[in-house]
Each structure stands twice: as structure tokens, then as C-alpha cells.
Amino acid sequence: MAQPIRPDLRYSVDHEWLSAEQPPRVGITAVASDALGEIVFVDLPEVGAEVEAGEPCGELESTKSVSDLVSPVTGTVVEVNEAVVDEPGTINADPYGAGWLFTVQVASEGELLSPEDYAAKFDAEIVAG
């Protein structure tokens, strides 16, 4: 079954999404959330940390495995979603809403895919909001 993605986001090949708001939010896709299984621990970059597009900036630990969180952009972390640190399962329950991970002041973007390109590459389905 195809996992849902949103039409208003852009995506990395590492399964992170980037919102259009300023500063943009970063999260992981339902494709990644489904592949990871139940997320039990989240290690996010600290506010003020510099992240680099295509480079690991944290970790997501699930009952199945540990996976690097790879930044889709280069910039400075502005805000971290402490709610997902306290309750990692929020990422599984609502990866595009309450399960966002951090916001970043973008200096430059990495290679990002349109919703259509991501959906085609990873067997996802574009769904509204």
C-alpha cells in the first residue's frame, strides 16, 4: 500500500520533508515512518546548531533499527520540537503535523524532490493536507 505524502512539501531522497513556511519545518515522511516502525527515541540537533544538506544531524531509533536523520538543507537550527523528544510515537501518528522535528534558517538547499517525483520514486501517494 502506498504511503501518503502532502502536495505542499518538498522531499529529500533520505525521506525528510521541508515545508514552505519561513523558517521551514523539517520532518520525516510517512514512507520513512512506516519503514522504521514504532519510533521510541529521537535525537535532534540543538537550537543554534549548524546542519548541512545531505549530512546526518540526528538519529531516530525504532523497535527495528537506528536510522540517521539527514538534513535536507544547510543552515542554522531555529527551533526543535521538544514534544517529539518527549513522545517519539507522535512521529508515527502524525509525521506531517505534530510529528515535525525542527525548523531551520536556510542558507542553501540540498537536492529536493517535488511531491510527484518523490511519489514516483518511493511508491507514495499524494494526498491533500
pLDDT in tens, 32-68: 999 999 999 999 999 999 999 999 999 999 999 999 9
Topology of domain 4-126, CATH: OB fold (Dihydrolipoamide Acetyltransferase, E2P) (2.40.50)
Q: Please tell me which residue, 128 or 100, carries the higher pLDDT value.
A: 100
Q: Label residue 1 by pLDDT band (50, 70, 90).
A: confident
CA dihedral 77, 83, 85, 91 (to 10 degrees): -90
Q: Label residue 88 by pLDDT band (50, 70, 90).
A: very high
Tell which residue, 99, 121, 29, has the closest CA to residue 70.
29
State the Cα–Cα distance between residues 37 and 105, nearest whole angstrom. Answer: 30
pLDDT at residue 125 greater than cutoff 90: yes
Average pLDDT of 69-94? 98
pLDDT attached to residue 128: 80
Proportion of the chain above pLDDT 70, given as a percent: 99
Enter the DSSP assignment of 21.
S
pTM score: 0.96
- Judge whether 22 and 104 are in contact, CB under 8 Å: no
pLDDT at residue 129 greater than cutoff 70: no
